[in-house]
Amino acid sequence: MITTSSSPSNSLRLLLAACALSAGVGCAENEISVYIRQMKAPTLQGTTCIISQDPTTPFILEGTLDLAFKTHYILSPLIHSNLVSRIDTNANRTESNHIIIEGYVVEIHEDSPDGPLYAGTGFTNPFSVYQSTVILPGAGGNAGFGAGNFEAIPGQIGEALYQDVCVTRRGIVRPAGLDPNLCPVPIYNTDVTKRLVLGVSAFGHTGGGVSVETPKFNFPITVCCGCLVQFPTATSTTAATDAGAARGPSCAAGTVAATPAICYPGQDFRVDCNLCATSRPDLCQPFGYVPPTSGMITCGR
């Protein structure tokens, strides 16, 4: 669920009161007790996408959203907690230093963290997304970790980006002379992009009732139109030309893999054309290609 918010209510910006919350830990050694450490890269195990809470497993430094595939973007922040356990069975004291993350505040800037907020009609920016995550205190002097998973670019903003990058700036071009009723594949200008920086902070409270909000984590994302489709040489052939324009490689329709090779097709990682040659021929086939069932599917917008 997404709601408008410039800041969550009753939130403490930084958990700098480490002395009050962490037994036996000095404030000088804990400038920030809870923060977003990195953005995780989901991994596919069988048919299930897994978000690891281990900071040594794969993570991403920046993202890519291919608007030709989809208009929303999923982030998986790993939250690091330096709060130590306060449980004491001998003193009948329950744990109060676990953290319950309630959601995230997201602000989307253009070009840089200090750039203008991305603006448009039908959405607000910044906004809040409510998604729960629990982080237990670390044991044996180690930190505690918890991984979240939420929609950081919602569809409303993604649709505005599509109109901006793919339509107005001609990231997708449908040349004159091609019959739109036959659903030919358009030209994707993959060098037409837009740079965004997402400022993300998590908010919630400890088991002891102390409100907490992490410092802002800036995460850059490049949006494009058709840039993540990949035509592997081993599975491609050279197509004929169409109206004097080279079609480029064509994907062998019908050789789609049984399961997707990545978790979220259309973001961050390239998509083998064989995974979408029949389901998205308007995107995963070369310019000018006309699907045999073009009258039954929608190509483009």
Dist CA 164 CA 280 (whole Å): 22
Could you tell me the pLDDT band of residue 14, with boundaries at 50, 70 and 90?
very low
Q: Tell me the fold of 2-164+192-224.
A: Immunoglobulin-like (2.60.40)
The residues spanned by each domain of the chain are: 2-164+192-224
Beta carbons of 236 and 14 less than 8 angstroms apart: no
DSSP lists the bridge partners of residue 201 as: 105
Strand pairing report for 59-60 and 127-135: unpaired
Residues 177-235: tens digit of each pLDDT: 766 666 778 899 999 999 999 999 999 998 888 888 999 999 999 999 999 998 876 54
Dist CA 217 CA 229 (whole Å): 29
Residue 241 scores a pLDDT above 80: no
pLDDT score at 10: 39
- The percent of residues above 70 in pLDDT, for the chain, comes to 70
For the ranges 25-29, 50-54, 192-196, the one whose mean pLDDT is highest: 192-196
List C-alpha distances in Å: 281 to 71, 83, 162: 18, 51, 19
pLDDT score at 240: 44
Dist CA 103 CA 100 (whole Å): 9
More reliable by pLDDT, 55 or 48: 55
pLDDT score at 76: 96
More reliable by pLDDT, 44 or 240: 44
- The model's pTM is 0.81
For the ranges 39-48, 124-133, 234-243, the one whose mean pLDDT is highest: 124-133
Could you tell me the pLDDT band of residue 25, with boundaries at 50, 70 and 90?
very low
Comparing 150-154, 208-212, 285-289, 294-298, which segment has the lowest mean pLDDT? 294-298
Q: Give mean pLDDT, residues 231-250.
A: 52
More reliable by pLDDT, 141 or 67: 67
**Average pLDDT value over all residues in the chain:** 79
